[in-house]
């Protein structure tokens, strides 16, 4: 899936106009679409946004490699504690992936790109588009999912 970069001014404009007029931005897709949905998490549609079709309850990594990479990203950026228990989950997940750290899913995840099982991508590294508290929630969710994969 191609990533779409949305200029900050457009994101701000969308944030200011969407709640007032209820416009659905169907022209946006992929990462930008998901990030606009994250900005709307407090809107009546709830979750990670009715716009993107992602919700916190349905959010999950599409592979063990991607989960390990996202956990790595979250630890490096202080969204998760970099303690031995968290590192052990990441290491065990990565050990179960053919190719280990050369796995494409791990590589994406370690850059902050969560690839879901339905092919959507959520770029956690775009802090202008995702609130830190939402990123932390996503990191916690992927860590919990990673533990359940072991």
Task: List pLDDT tens digits, range 35-77.
Answer: 434 443 443 334 453 335 667 777 899 999 999 999 999 999 9
Assessment of whether the complete model's pTM goes beyond 0.75? no
The per-residue DSSP string of the chain comes to -------HHHHHHHHHHHHHH----TT--HHHHHHHHHHTTTSTT-TT-TTTT--GGG--BSSHHHHHHHHHHHHHTTSS---HHHHHHHHHHHHTSTTGGG-HHHHHHHTTEEEBTTS-EEETT-TTTS-HHHHHHHHHHHHHHHHHH-
């Amino acid at each position: 899936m191609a990533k779409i970069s949305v200029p900050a001014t457009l994101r701000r404009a969308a944030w200011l106009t969407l709640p007032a007029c209820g416009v659905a931005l169907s022209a946006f897709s992929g990462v930008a679409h998901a990030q606009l949905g994250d900005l709307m998490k407090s809107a009546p549609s709830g979750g990670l946004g009715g716009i993107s079709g992602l919700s916190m309850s349905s959010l999950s990594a599409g592979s063990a490699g991607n989960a390990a990479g996202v956990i790595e990203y979250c630890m490096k950026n202080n969204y998760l504690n970099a303690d031995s228990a968290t590192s052990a989950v990441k290491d065990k997940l990565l050990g179960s992936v053919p190719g280990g750290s050369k796995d494409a899913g791990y590589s994406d995840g370690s850059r902050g790109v969560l690839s879901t099982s339905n092919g959507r991508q959520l770029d956690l590294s775009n802090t202008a588009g995702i609130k830190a508290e939402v990123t932390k929630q996503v990191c916690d969710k992927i860590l919990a999912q990673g533990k359940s994969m072991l």
